């Protein structure tokens, strides 16, 4: 279990991470989502004890990372954004070094073989790391984090720079690891997080702006649902007739389409179903619905909404 309490990191007057608190239960896969420069890596570096926090605490299974770093660090496997590889070593030599460095007490040869098999680099084991491609290097970094079977895995953007096939493999790997380990992994790619994580924390400008189960995030945060429509008919009439429906929060014309039709986005309150009412309203004004899709807001929308909302608030404050 990882417990983060009121974690803050200041660089001079800049607050890179601002009073973050969250808890990750055993066996949970937590996605850490945010745009570049939001403070994801800084937070992870503090959790792993690479840098210290300005204030706040991190405890791993009840052990404070600053008070008893040796004990806490044995519980963590860390894959930083740039895998810490000694490029002049062969994969096997490097893993042997990391094994010794981490003071792992498992049978050395078997354990390294097992980890290499897990991330599928056995065939590359005698190659010098500097000759490996980015994807293989990432796997070596992964292998390094897995040495010693630490209960907590912290992965900082593990899929950056990989090709789609490798990304899928790594995702699968993270999912399978999540059954035995507590995993925190960061990314700025939404689809990836939603495909792998049980829970998502969205971080923006050093603050947590959302913390929810993956499937709940979109509705929970947005508080409204979405309907996209393609209607053939007079735009003004369409807009005004849809606005009359009580549950509708907002309706906008997104763009004109061929043959006098146009695409509209209708946002309405959570838990209601307005499809019949929309259908009737459109029929009443003599227009025709060509397409209707009910959808939750996509995570992309939510993400953009959450991470830019702040900005508009700040701007408002300044003015």
Partner 1 sequence: MGAILKRELSSYFNSATAYVVMAVYFFFSGLFFYTYCFAYNSASLAGVYGNMFYIIMFIIPIITMKTFAEEKRQKTDQALLTAPTSLTEIVLGKFLGAFILYLICSCIYLVYAVIISFFTTPEWSVILCTFLGVVLLGASLIAINVFISVLTESMIIAAVFGMAVGLLISMMSYFASMISLSWISNALKAISFMEYYQNFTYGILSIVDVVFFLSVTALFLFFTVRALEKRRWS
**In sequence order, what are the beta bridge partners of 66?**
none
Least separation in angstroms between CB 118 and partner 1: 19
76 vs 190, which CB is nearer to partner 1? 76
Stretch that binds partner 1, among 89-97, 113-121, 252-260, 272-280 (CB under 8 A): 89-97
Q: Is there binding between residue 138 and partner 1 (CB under 8 A)?
A: no
Figure out which of the listed residues 31, 39, 80, 233 binds partner 1, where binding follows CB under 8 A. Answer: 80
Closest to 160 in 3D by CA, of 118, 129, 189, 119: 189
The full DSSP string for 184-227 is: EEEES-HHHHHHH-SEEEEEETTEEEEEEEHHHHHHHHH-EEEE
Q: Is there binding between residue 266 and partner 1 (CB under 8 A)?
A: no
Q: Is there binding between residue 82 and partner 1 (CB under 8 A)?
A: yes
Least separation in angstroms between CB 210 and partner 1: 28
Tell me how crowded residue 247 is: count the other CB atoms within 10 A of its CB: 16
Long-range contacts (CB closer than 8 Å, 24 or more residues apart) made by 97-100 = 98/144, 98/147, 99/147, 99/148
Nearest 5°: the CA angle 46, 47, 53 is: 35
Stretch that binds partner 1, among 47-55, 56-64, 119-127, 290-298 (CB under 8 A): 47-55
Stretch that binds partner 1, among 29-37, 42-50, 260-268, 270-278 (CB under 8 A): 42-50
Contacts of 173 (CB under 8 A, 6+ apart): 118, 119, 142
Nearest 5°: the CA angle 25, 195, 176 is: 60
Q: Is there binding between residue 102 and partner 1 (CB under 8 A)?
A: yes
Positions 139 through 178 that interact with partner 1 (CB under 8 A) = 144
Closest to 170 in 3D by CA, of 191, 148, 147, 142: 142
Least separation in angstroms between CB 128 and partner 1: 10
Positions 55 through 74 that interact with partner 1 (CB under 8 A) = 69-71, 73-74
Least separation in angstroms between CB 11 and partner 1: 8
Q: Is there binding between residue 88 and partner 1 (CB under 8 A)?
A: yes
Stretch that binds partner 1, among 31-39, 77-85, 278-286, 306-314 (CB under 8 A): 77-85
C-alpha span between 92 and 105 (Å, rounded): 18
Q: Is there a contact between 287 and 237 (Cβ–Cβ < 8 Å)?
A: yes
Least separation in angstroms between CB 123 and partner 1: 22
- Token pair 């939603």 in the structure block, residue: 194
C-alpha span between 92 and 18 (Å, rounded): 40
Least separation in angstroms between CB 30 and partner 1: 19
Interface residue list for partner 1 (CB under 8 A)? 45, 48-52, 69-71, 73-74, 76, 78, 80, 82, 84-89, 93, 97-98, 100-103, 144
């Amino acid at each position: 279990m990882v417990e983060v309490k009121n974690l803050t990191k200041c660089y001079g007057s800049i607050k890179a991470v601002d009073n973050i608190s969250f808890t990750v239960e055993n066996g949970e896969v937590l996605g850490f989502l945010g745009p570049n420069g939001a403070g994801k890596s800084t937070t992870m570096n503090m959790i792993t004890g690479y840098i210290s926090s300005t204030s706040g605490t991190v405890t791993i299974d009840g052990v404070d990372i600053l008070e008893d770093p040796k004990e806490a660090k044995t519980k963590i496997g860390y894959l930083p954004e740039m895998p810490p590889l000694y490029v002049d070593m062969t994969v096997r030599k490097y893993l042997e070094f990391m094994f010794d460095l981490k003071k792992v007490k498992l049978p050395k040869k078997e354990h390294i073989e097992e980890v290499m098999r897990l991330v599928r680099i056995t065939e590359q084991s005698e190659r010098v790391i500097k000759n490996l491609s980015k994807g293989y290097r990432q796997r070596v970094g992964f292998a390094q984090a897995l040495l010693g079977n630490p209960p907590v895995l912290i992965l900082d953007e593990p899929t950056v720079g990989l090709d789609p096939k490798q990304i899928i493999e790594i995702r699968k790997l993270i999912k399978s690891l999540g059954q035995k380990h507590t995993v925190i992994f960061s990314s700025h790619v939404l689809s990836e997080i939603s495909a792998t994580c049980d829970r998502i924390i969205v971080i923006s400008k050093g603050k947590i702006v959302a913390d929810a189960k993956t499937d709940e995030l979109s509705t929970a945060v947005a508080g409204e649902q979405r309907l996209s429509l393609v209607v053939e008919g007079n735009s003004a009439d369409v807009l005004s007739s849809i606005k009359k429906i009580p549950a509708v929060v907002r309706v906008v014309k997104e763009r004109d389409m061929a043959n006098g039709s146009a695409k509209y986005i209708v946002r309405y309150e959570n838990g209601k179903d307005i499809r019949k009412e929309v259908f009737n309203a459109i029929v009443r004004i003599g227009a025709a619905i060509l397409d209707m899709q009910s959808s939750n807001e996509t995570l992309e929308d939510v993400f953009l909404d959450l991470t830019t909302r702040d900005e508009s608030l700040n701007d408002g404050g300044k003015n």
